A and B are shown apart, each in its own frame.
Chain A
Amino acid sequence: MFSYIARRLLVAIPTLLILIVLSAVLMHAAPGGPFNSERKLSPEVIANLTAKYGLDQPLWYQIWAYIRDLVLHFDFGPSFKYKDRTVNDIIAQGFPVTLKYGFWSFIIATVLGIVAGVVAAINHNKATDYLVLTIAIVGAVLPGYVLAPIMVLFFTLYLGWLPGGGWEDGEWRYLVMPVLALATGYIASIARLMRSSMLETLNSNFVRTARAKGLPEWKVITGHVMKPALLPILSYLGPVFVGMVTGSVVIDMYFSTGGIGKSFVDSALNRDYSVMLGITLLVGALTILFNLIVDVLYAFIDPKIRY
């Protein structure tokens, strides 16, 4: 097991390196430097700025210095646009917000999705099943950026129950709509996945055996069906996590929650390359880490997998 984890971590390193090198080369190749703004700067100022941020160094040295700072000091470097802020500051400000609503959406998506899928599978081909399926299909074609305005329209403008945006340190009324907008699509996919994997398990031989020896139906389901049926869900949690972070871009834009997605879009519009690169790297690293956790959990739950 430990050698497996070590091996997976070793694969993660080239992935991150490729991401860094790719981004650095792109930055270098991009037309118009980060200091091109409406206000014309004199050549001396630009030369000073380039020297300050080390952009006058050869490309290989820039990449090396970036990796060195990152590995040794966990330092993503300075922001190209905000002189008094580092990329670390910007991440430290936005990330906890994203983490908070991301965490709740993750929990809600997983729990509601699994429950809906189980209910649908137990009532296979009955009205409940079709209801869940219909809702799931509707949810799948309504991404967050479509749901968010509809929810604001309904909850804020018609009912006046919830504030249409803002964060206020994550007070629950400000949390409800971001969490729901982020989770709905995933509730739908998890429910569909859970339903089909439940149905498959319900048809297998060991379930027939369990029923044949006279176990009550609820015991068959909790004791024999749930665990194997949950396995495909587990491997889907990696993509769900990535979706939570990517989705935060829309949530932050729409609800002004001020998470990492806002920093990313702002830096994209400002051509603040170092912030963009830092956030991309962070998300990449988290993706790898999360997939690793999921795989290790998989190995614990599924006795058939041996590393």
Chain B
Amino acid sequence: MVSAQMRAGDLSGITDNFEIKGRSLWADARKRFMANKAAVASLFILIAIALFSILGEPLAAWTHEEIDFDLIGSVETKGMPSFENGHYFGTDDLARDLFARSAQGTRISLMVGFVGTFIAVLVGTVYGAVAGYVGGRTDAVMMRIVDILSAIPYMFVLILLLVMFGRSMFMIFVGIGMLSWLGMARIVRGQTLSLKHKEYIEAARASGVSSWMIILRHILPNLMGVVTVYTTLLIPDMIMAESFISFLGLGVQEPLTSLGALIAEGAKSIVQGSLWQLYFPLAFFVVTLYAFYFVGDGLRDALDPKDR
């Protein structure tokens, strides 16, 4: 698998090391990531969106659950975005401020994305690393379980769970996270499997490094690249899964909202002509997903050792 080009790259790295301080994997990756303009721009957009989701509500003239009684009943004609009455993004059908609701919905969507992914990464990495490192029959049994679980239509099971145990943030986090660690487990296992037979692991072992240090210094950092890339690609998946569920009306409960729920409401009200109800949440949704994809792509280019 090691290409001639890679070997040559490694060798030139050796001569460099005599003159300059060796660059770590992460310093190297950071440099490559910074060179990718789309990825860096997306990262800044993501930071901006995160700031909006946190600071948007305190800055808004209204809270996400306050009803503007001046507008109630005449949302289609008076509820459009305006700076005069403080509804920068307009209001929804119940005359609630869409700016605050968008900020709050983005927050929930990002939170589900991060927490769901965190659970998936935690479970998947541990499971995959154990299966790959122990190997043999344990590996076979553990991966067969993953195979069996991946044949389950998980969106249906997730809805089943939400209906049976009630709709709560906790259930959404756990449900989405627990059902999406399978891909991560497969990837981590494959990576661990190929890593543990690498020459540099053997060299480390031969020079008397303890297994703990080998895992910490050699396996984990090499796993981190793949895990990071997959994590960035998993977050938009989680956000999509949550908004799918919210669209069906099975997600977070009112007065809380999420981007999926806002899009669903906006989609229902386009018939009345209040298009701003769809545009603003949709813009946040699409831009967020875009940005995550570009950051993920940039990270993959920066961290994937095969692509150098």
Contact = CB atoms under 8 A, between A and B. Distances in A.
A110 interface: no
Interface stretch (A55-63, A194-202, A210-218, A246-254): A246-254
Contacts of B152: 15, 18-19, 284
B244 A250 contact: yes
Contacts of A23: 157, 160
A23 B152 CA distance: 11
B293 interface: yes
Given A31-B166, A145-B267, A242 B153 contact: yes
B293 A137 contact: yes
B147 A11 contact: yes
Interface string B22-34: 0000000000000
B248 A265 contact: yes
Interface string A276-302: 110110011001100100000000000
B282 A276 contact: no
Contact of B260 (A22, A140, A145): A145
Given A11-B147, A141-B289, A283 B264 contact: no
Contact of B247 (A27, A242, A250): A250
B153 A283 contact: yes
B270 A149 contact: yes
Contacts of B147: 11
Given A254-B267, A265-B248, A280-B160, A11 B148 contact: yes
B156 A145 contact: no
Contacts of B285: 146
Contacts of A264: 156, 159
Interface residues of B, number: 41
Contacts of A19: 152
B148 A146 contact: no
B20 interface: no
A280 B164 CA distance: 14
B220 interface: no
Contacts of A26: 160-161, 164
Interface in B252-285: 260, 263-264, 266-267, 270-271, 275, 278, 282, 285
Contacts of A29: 164
Interface in B44-65: none
B304 to A, nearest CB: 14
B154 to A, nearest CB: 9
A184 to B, nearest CB: 14
Interface residues of A, number: 47
A149 B151 contact: no
A12 interface: yes
Given A143-B244, A146-B286, A280 B270 contact: no
B165 interface: yes
A145 B247 contact: yes
Nearest to A243: B155
Contacts of A177: none
Contacts of A142: 286
A7 to B, nearest CB: 12
Interface string A1-33: 000000000011011001100110011011100
Contacts of B165: 30-31
Contacts of B290: 137, 141
B291 to A, nearest CB: 10
Contacts of B164: 26-27, 29-31, 271, 273
Interface in A201-259: 242, 245-246, 249-250, 253-254
A153 interface: yes
Interface string B155-182: 1110111111110000000000000000
B193 interface: no
A16 B304 CA distance: 37
Contact of A287 (B151, B264, B286): B151
A182 interface: no
A284 B248 contact: no
B204 interface: no
Considering residues B161, B163, B243, B289, which has the most beta carbons from chain A within 10 angstroms of its beta carbon? B163
B278 A15 contact: no
Interface string A140-169: 111101101100110001000000000000
A143 B260 CA distance: 11
B156 A279 contact: yes
A107 interface: no
A65 interface: no
Nearest to B263: A146
B94 interface: no
B258 to A, nearest CB: 13
A274 to B, nearest CB: 12
A268 interface: yes
Contacts of B278: 149, 153
A88 B166 CA distance: 27
18 contacts: A11-B147, A18-B148, A26-B164, A31-B165, A140-B293, A145-B243, A148-B267, A149-B266, A149-B267, A246-B155, A246-B156, A250-B248, A268-B160, A268-B250, A271-B163, A277-B160, A279-B156, A291-B151
- Which 10 pairs from chain A and chain B are nearest by CB? A149-B267, A30-B164, A141-B289, A283-B153, A280-B156, A145-B247, A15-B148, A268-B163, A15-B151, A246-B155
Interface of A: 11-12, 14-15, 18-19, 22-23, 26-27, 29-31, 137, 140-143, 145-146, 148-149, 152-153, 157, 242, 245-246, 249-250, 253-254, 264-265, 268-269, 271, 273, 276-277, 279-280, 283-284, 287-288, 291
